[in-house]
Amino acid sequence: MRNVNVALIPIALLSSIGYQAKAETAKVKEEHPNILFILADDLGWNDLGCMGSKFYETPNIDSLAATGVKFMSAYSACTVSSPSRSSIMTGQYTPRHGVTDWIGEKSGEDWRKMKRNSKLLPADYNWCLPEEEYTIAECLKDNGYTTFMAGKWHMGDPKTWPEDHGFEISVGAGGMKGGYFAPFNNPKLPDNEPGENLSMRLGKETIKFMEEHQKTNPDKPFFAYLSFYAVHGPIQTNQKYWSYFRDKAEKMGIASNGFKIDRTLPVRQHQDNPVYAGVIKEMDDAIGMVLNELKKLGLDKNTLVIFTSDNGGVTSGDNYSTSLLPLRGGKGRQWEGGIRVPLIYSYPECKAGTTIDTPVIGTDFYPTILDYAGLKLHPEQHKDGVSIMPLLNGKNIKPRTLFWHYPHYGNQGGEPSSIIRKGDWKLIYYYETAHSELYNLAIDLGENEPLNAQYPEKVKELEAELMQWLKDVNAQKPVADPLYSPVKEAAVKNNWHTKVLKQQEKLRKDMLNKNWKPNETWWDSMITID
């Protein structure tokens, strides 16, 4: 290349060159915005103030909704975490990528070790996100984005980590064996201060990434995936938040009974869990900290922020944390409570405070992010998602049918089933009995009364479409257990309906007692260094 003597170039021309370079940089940043994807774990559809909760307090998430677009009919791609997370990463329904249950759960004949004595043996499934899938992180990385992740992965650890699927930087993906307060016992998250809160720590790691990125690569866009462990069980909070929400529950009025049997397990009927409320508040605090830093760095002017949950809230099983009424069920279950989730999009050009009722699903994130960033779509990869940018721009998307497939038993009481939603109609097909339940969500959001008898032709139509879809995606199905004993199964269910119900009622009342204390250090939160 020919050498150029800069001293001979007129100052005006140098200024012009500099101005043009800055203009080009601004153009690149404008065309390729930053992406901040915030994922809660097991947060229910109405566990936010902006979604109708009168008990939980989420001012920072509510503020995000007030400045963004809120979806009222948003769905996860599965009732449990690993499959829905894999669908976010791939843009595919769960039978396609093969992760159909939370990674680690038993299947096939191994299921008998769970001593549930159920009629079926759950289908086998992939224990890690397939290497050949071209994830959203890989795609953005290939298009010049710096990719970062903080928090829960659960898509194959320790077989495959975020670094194996497109994330250049990853912290905290090693699990939450230590709970919500340090020491975390997480190989991917070294301890800092004793008693540090996990949600706040993940927020700080995200802030650290954004600050360093601004110093070293200010002209390069980033994709930050902040994946909280909150509000997954075992739920833990500090004494201050527990006390505040316990008092609030008392002021609102504590019901004498808190649970009701719904076919399998007891289901929580009230949002009055002060520990769970504290976990939500701590996550909201962390989100507020991240959003404030985004604004402080000036990144809010060029960042798409997405907030959602990986599946419905836990109303039964696990920690029996919340109530999602009027929705029926919760995490792991086939009704709306298991798959309907909060969803907020916020970005500089959006019409603040917009609410959208059109159904969308977790497979839509991949193409929507690419579309918003002005990047080429990859329909061969995200084949089950569509860009919802038209909805965000005040227009419509083409009507479509949505599907779910969960050939497993949820430890929250869910039954092996497949689901189809078409318009306002929703049909659930049960593998144990080979029968379906038909609901119309426009008139029965709580799925209280099946309409099979009134609309037999609609049942046939939706069953046929669902069965064809299952065939098209090569869905694996559960099989009958030849060792099944109805007597043993009845004993298991009787235990759920008596002993478990009694245990949960007692635990609920204990947590709402003024003298309740989980341990001397409140799960180590009291040993934080000031």
Mean pLDDT by 10 residues, the chain (530 residues): 36 40 39 94 98 98 98 98 98 98 97 97 97 97 98 91 97 95 96 96 98 95 98 97 98 97 97 98 98 97 97 97 98 98 96 97 98 97 98 96 97 97 98 98 98 98 98 98 97 97 98 96 83
Question: Considering the entire predicted model, what is its pTM?
Answer: 0.93
| Alpha carbon distance 499, 398 (integer Å) | 49
Write down all domains in the chain, each with its CATH number in brackets: 31-395+482-527 (3.40.720.10), 417-477 (3.30.1120.10)
**Cα angle value 391/305/154 (rounded, 5°):** 105
Cβ atoms of 377 and 385 within 8 Å: the answer is no
By the 10 Å C-beta count (0-12 exposed, 13-18 middle, 19+ buried), 353 is classed as exposed
| Alpha carbon distance 359, 340 (integer Å) | 10
| 3-state percent helix, strand, coil for the chain, nearest multiple of 5 | 35, 15, 50
Buried b (16+ CB within 10 A) or exposed e, 176-213: bebbbbbebebebbeeeeebbbbbebbbbbbbebbeeb
Looking at residue 24, its pLDDT comes to 37
- Distance between terminal CA atoms of the chain? 59
Q: Where are the alpha helices (DSSP H) in 39-195?
A: 59-66, 81-90, 94-97, 136-142
| Alpha carbon distance 385, 406 (integer Å) | 19
Cβ atoms of 125 and 97 within 8 Å: the answer is no
Looking at residue 284, its pLDDT comes to 98
Distances (CA, A) of 228 to 22, 44, 243, 319: 37, 14, 24, 17
Looking at residue 30, its pLDDT comes to 53
Looking at residue 51, its pLDDT comes to 98
If one counts every other C-beta atom within 10 angstroms of the C-beta of residue 519, the result is 9
| Alpha carbon distance 49, 64 (integer Å) | 12
List 417's β-bridge partners, or say none.
406, 430
Looking at residue 158, its pLDDT comes to 78
Residue 356 is classified by DSSP as: E
Cβ-based neighbours of 27, under 8 Å, separated by 6 or more: none
- Report the SS3 class of residue 151: strand
